[in-house]
Amino acid sequence: MVLSGGTVFDGLGSPGTVADVVVENGAVRAIEPAGSHRPTGVRVIDCDGLYVAPGFVDAHSHSDMVPLMDQPQPFKLLQGVTTEIAGNCGFSFAPLTDESAAVVRAMYAELACGVDVGAGSFAEFLDQVEKSGPTNHLAYLVGHHTLRVTANGAGDELRPGAVDEMCRLAAEAFEAGAVGFSTGLIYPPGCFADQAEVMRIARVAGAYGRTYATHMRDEGRFVEDAIDEAVAIARAGGIRLQISHCKAAGKAAHGKGAALLERLEQARLAGVDVMGDQYPYLAGGTVMLALLPNDAVAGGAHAMVARLGDPAERERLRTQAALGRPADGMWANTEPSKILVTTHRDASVVGRTVAEAAGSAGDADPFDTLCELLIADPGAMIVLEMMAEPDVRAIMASPLVGIGSDNGPPIGMQHPRTYGCFPRLFGTYVREEQVLTWPEAIRKASSLIARQFGLAGRGVLLPGAHADVTVFDPATIGHGGSYVEPDVPTEGIRTVLLDGRVVVDDGVFTGERAGRVLRA
């Protein structure tokens, strides 16, 4: 087919040029002057007045189990995203034993998209995803949480030989095609790991030339220390480093966006290939248990519920949570009025803040309300406002930071980034606010991320590249979703190709599951 007469961007930051893109056998065959190529018998898509870009690459996804859902899920294709990096924040759904699968089901069931979590190796999981038929391409990281809970159980103390077993399982995952490994050092059980433990896994990743992606140990007052730790781990393995969802979180950290960027620049000058990713919002989203101190959740969901039900333990945790140190959870970094419950077994609290839930409980103390909510549903999820607009803009403007949605499953009330992260970036921060130019924003959404995870031939629009292409209208692209009404339709995405197959046609999903598992 020919994508005719659009403004074509290569994804490398070059200015757009009006041209025809010729697609053949799943690849970009040529980019030629507009109107110079009119073969007979092929489809010609008129792109006059539109932008033609590489399919967007989402650096930070939690869509691991989405391909296993009964119906195809086009929520990323309708943002122009053709490839997602899944398995982030230490969460992956393989390798698992029967015992570790039960732990994952109890603590992180919401990330499973309603699909049963079962035992299996990383290779078996990738084969299952491939067989199910992804709606868009996915590349997978193996999660440190999963390695740890499978090798060591949910406890905080390491068993003899546990790290050796984690390294063995990581090597198996890399052999199966994992593009790297991830950590979530504020979540259990990864929060119990010291730097030396993660370095061991990094050295295995280095032997395979893989990438390390991290939700750091702190994203607020101590963000500099957290970046230093991440850089040291990457250096130990000689590997690329991806700092997940770059932010300065919490009132005490507002203004630290510049310090974060300075640390990234220093690390690159010192020889560590570090990049970051960001979502264009002031609020984040996570599991509710992340508000608690680390030791509240040692041993898994059942142990956490028992602690929260013990009055003495609850008071101890209340005192610790108020300190706001890296191991003390996120409670002190936000306010109850800014914590929105998005998923919970009790539907009456969904869409309400913790402060509102406390008020309806008879002016109960908000921390007590938090504890009761977690007792009722240990896997509940939240959206919480933590960032300041100047920090978001400063981080966004850095050439070292790409785009990652950090989406949840496309079920119920999710953060609007799940449904509109990329259109919001282009509509709000490029067209309206002009924080970024179009070529630079497209680079951040494509080649910057594809390179960092070793996705050869993706994230660029050049002859010989895979024909993953997004065509959009720069005048209308955007997303109007809010935190209480997140899943409104995106605007401006006109055509999306996956390996040369049209999967979004004139803004409508075709229904075809044309994605692939991209194995390293």
pLDDT tens profile 416-461: 999 999 999 999 999 999 999 999 999 999 999 999 999 999 999 9
Q: Taking residues 389-418, what's their average pLDDT?
A: 96
pLDDT for the residue 383: 94
In this structure, are residues 376 and 344 in contact, taking their beta carbons and an 8 Å threshold? yes
Determine which helix (DSSP H) or strand (DSSP E) holds 440, and give its type and residue range: helix 438-444
pLDDT in tens, 176-227: 999 999 999 999 899 999 999 999 999 999 999 999 999 999 999 999 999 9
pLDDT for the residue 299: 87
Name the CA radius of gyration of the chain, rounded.
22
- Domains of the chain by residue range: 56-282+386-458, 287-384
Q: Taking residues 294-303, what's their average pLDDT?
A: 89
Q: What is the pTM of this model?
A: 0.95
In this structure, are residues 65 and 128 in contact, taking their beta carbons and an 8 Å threshold? no
pLDDT for the residue 37: 66
Q: Please count the other Cβ atoms lying within 10 Å of the Cβ belonging to residue 225.
A: 14
Q: Taking residues 84-88, what's their average pLDDT?
A: 98
Mean pLDDT, rounded, of the chain:
95
pLDDT for the residue 268: 98
Q: Is 92 exposed, middle or buried (0-12, 13-18, 19+ CB in 10 A)?
A: buried
CA neighbor of 62 nearest in space, from 263, 279, 236, 345: 279
CA–CA separation, 63 vs 280, rounded Å?
Answer: 19
Q: Taking residues 84-95, what's their average pLDDT?
A: 97
Q: Determine the CATH number of domain 56-282+386-458.
A: 3.20.20.140
Token representation of residue 224: 């500099």
* Region of residue 367 (phi > 0: left; psi between -120 and 50: alpha; otherwise: beta): alpha
Q: Please count the other Cβ atoms lying within 10 Å of the Cβ belonging to residue 314.
A: 18
In this structure, are residues 400 and 265 in contact, taking their beta carbons and an 8 Å threshold? yes
CA–CA separation, 95 vs 105, rounded Å?
Answer: 14
pLDDT for the residue 503: 98
* Residue 361 pLDDT exceeds 70: no
Half-sphere exposure of 149 (CA within 13 A, CB side): 35
